[in-house]
Amino acid sequence: MIREAIATGDNVDAAFANACAQLGVETVDAEFEILEMPQKKTLGLFGGRPAKVRAYIEVPDPAQAPAPKPAPVSAPKPAPAPVAKVAPQPAAEASSEKNSMAPAENAASYLKRVLAGMGLPDATVEVKPADSGASLTLNGGDIGFVIGHRGETLDALQYLASLVANHSGGSYFRLTLDVGNYREKRRETLEALGRKMAYRAVKSGRNSSLEPMNPYERRIIHTAVQEVEGAKSWSEGEDQARHVVIGPEGGERYQPRRDNRRGKPGYGGGRGFDRDRRGGRPQRGPQQNQAPRSGGPKADDPSAPIYGKIEAKK
């Protein structure tokens, strides 16, 4: 069964928080869809509109309770004598607190069975009370693989544990699952990524698409992008392919591609060789300082003997 609420706010986060308040759940437990992006007022006076968001959660269908049987009619009994009120004992308070954490204990027992099936029979689950629910921390040796790629396995286990905790119906019981403080480290990484991509979008004027993320991680990205002036973010895609797109507020602005060949030799823009401009191949000048020929008859004189005169010694 899907519960949903639509609310508005100055920005996407404010609108989403207002919608979650109507549902009576925390923002980490609900998904949202942006219906209208906020628009700033012209000159701070005219126009503008708030952000509009639809938040929704999936809750199990409550079991149909059997129809109550009519109580037998009996004769009226005399009113009992007034009894003095007794202050609750510490044992009663402890019992009430134990009953309030029963959904978390049921989820912890379920997770232990799942971890045993994954080859971790010695893993433990630490239960701590939290606002409107509880936080579960997994401990044990070689338990890091439970996180999975980008926390996908951990998110799946948290979803299953939340279904077990809310199986009995009643008010929504918020449940979070963590291993080795992974949630906090992942949040810091996503905040840094969101700010980095927002600055890049403002500088380049181009949109950038991130990898698909779950609603909790997409909200972290949206919050980080809002801290960068001139950048905006929105979600695209459906189901598992839904992802965040970050771009400049005024839309993409395409810049002309620069000709990197300009100024390089051989491409007409630099000081390369240009046969036409220089007038063709340069001519050689007259040869100077040539070595004199050796004496003797010239080869081009037909009357000269081939060899010189040879006199015999006496």
Rounded mean pLDDT for each run of 10 residues along the chain, 314 residues in total: 83 84 80 80 68 80 52 53 49 55 88 90 89 87 86 90 82 87 91 94 92 90 93 90 91 68 52 51 55 51 54 57
Decide: 16 and 9 in contact? Cβ < 8 Å.
Answer: yes
Q: Are 253 and 247 in contact (CB under 8 A)?
A: no
What does the pLDDT look like over 104-113, one tens digit per residue? 899 999 999 9
pLDDT score of 53: 83
pLDDT in tens, 151-178: 889 989 999 999 988 886 677 888 889 9
Q: Which pair of structure tokens corresponds to residue 83?
A: 């009894």
Six-digit token string for 215: 């609603």
Distance, C-alpha 73 to centroid of its chain: 65
Other residues' Cβ atoms within 10 Å of the Cβ of residue 262: 10
Which pLDDT belongs to residue 86?
45
Residue 172, pLDDT score: 82
Q: Supply the pLDDT for residue 257.
A: 64
pLDDT of residue 92: 46
Predicted confidence (pLDDT) per residue in 19-69, tens digit: 888 888 877 778 888 888 887 776 656 667 888 888 888 776 655 444 555
Dihedrals phi, psi of 96, to nearest 5 degrees = -65, -40
